[in-house]
Amino acid sequence: MIEFQNISFAYEKERPVLSNLSFCIREGENVGLIGANGAGKSTVMKVLLGLLKAEGRILVDGTEVTKGSLTEIRRKLGFVLQNSDNQMFMPTVYEDMIFAPLNYGLSRTEAEERVDKALEKLGLQELKHRHNHKISGGEKRMAAIATVLAMEPEVILMDEPTSALDPYNRRIVINTIRSLPQTKIITSHDLDMILDTCDRVILLSGGELAADGPADAILRDRALLEAHRMELPLCLGGARRQG
């Protein structure tokens, strides 16, 4: 479904962010993209979404990501931003949710149906007419996911979906992610969440592919994780004292 073929990218020539990255994601997979700060996780997302132009080829359902195909590609990929405030820029949740369906040419009735369906799916009906600046961080994160669901994308990309959430809201978001049937690519430092939601993990290190395999195997490999400035998930005893 998604194919990265020899992708390289650099903001400055001497410091490549992604180097010759190749991997393939099949339909229905839940992939966790992990790595230390600066490993290139967010860049992978941006390159895939066509926000950054990289060397190499990226194919989504056989269509190459180019300037001309961006509309078609972005229609298939729903991206939940790390900072929900940047995603929820309209006055109310409803207006934010209807934004994408209308942009993609749906009639108002069809768009409204999609909004209601997405809200119902996440149990957020009471948020529909609430003002974005009046809802809590957890609600905002859920609403941001709902805005993406209203697009009915084939793949959902999430950048740090559980960051800055309290344990209760974090659990709600995790359960929501698990309930979504779409293909998912999730970048996060929250390895417990990755273990909970993903069946496959891609470990990036210095812009290169360090490991790619079942989540359970990679996230239990202490030596591998520590070699790339990571730790075991907390639930597997990852919080150990340094020094």
- CA distance linking residue 37 with residue 35, whole number of Å: 7
Nearest distance from C-beta of residue 70 to other proteins, angstroms: 8
Nearer to other proteins (CB atom), residue 94 or residue 219: 94
From the list 8-16, 129-137, 160-168, 201-209, the region that binds other proteins by CB under 8 A is 129-137
From the number of C-beta atoms within 10 Å of its C-beta (0-12, 13-18, 19+), residue 102 rates as: middle
Lay out the site mask for other proteins across 172-201 (x = CB under 8 A, - = otherwise): ------------------------------
When asked if residue 103 is in the footprint of other proteins (CB under 8 A), the reply is yes
When asked if residue 151 is in the footprint of other proteins (CB under 8 A), the reply is yes
When asked if residue 79 is in the footprint of other proteins (CB under 8 A), the reply is yes
208-214/200-205 β-pairing = antiparallel
Burial 48-68 (b: 16+ CB within 10 A, else e): bbbebebeeebbbeeeebeee
DSSP state of 69: G
The helix-helix angle for 167-179 and 137-149 (nearest 10°) equals 10
- Cβ atoms of 149 and 119 within 8 Å: the answer is no
Nearer to other proteins (CB atom), residue 156 or residue 225: 156
Angle formed at CA 145 by CA 204 and CA 92, multiple of 5 degrees: 140
From the list 27-35, 102-110, 120-128, 199-207, the region that binds other proteins by CB under 8 A is 102-110
Nearer to other proteins (CB atom), residue 111 or residue 173: 111
From the list 30-38, 103-111, 120-128, 171-179, the region that binds other proteins by CB under 8 A is 103-111
Nearer to other proteins (CB atom), residue 98 or residue 232: 98
From the list 59-67, 95-103, 162-170, 185-193, the region that binds other proteins by CB under 8 A is 95-103
- CA distance linking residue 103 with residue 218, whole number of Å: 40
Nearer to other proteins (CB atom), residue 91 or residue 237: 91
Cα radius of gyration (the chain) = 18
CA 155 to chain centroid: 9
When asked if residue 26 is in the footprint of other proteins (CB under 8 A), the reply is no
Count Cβ atoms below 10 Å from residue 13 Cβ, excluding itself: 6
When asked if residue 98 is in the footprint of other proteins (CB under 8 A), the reply is yes
When asked if residue 102 is in the footprint of other proteins (CB under 8 A), the reply is yes
When asked if residue 87 is in the footprint of other proteins (CB under 8 A), the reply is yes
Residue 168's region, left for phi above 0, alpha for psi from -120 to 50, else beta, is alpha
Which residues form the interface with other proteins (CB under 8 A)? 49, 51, 71, 74-75, 77-79, 81, 83, 85-87, 89-92, 94-95, 98-100, 102-104, 108, 129, 131, 133-134, 147-148, 151
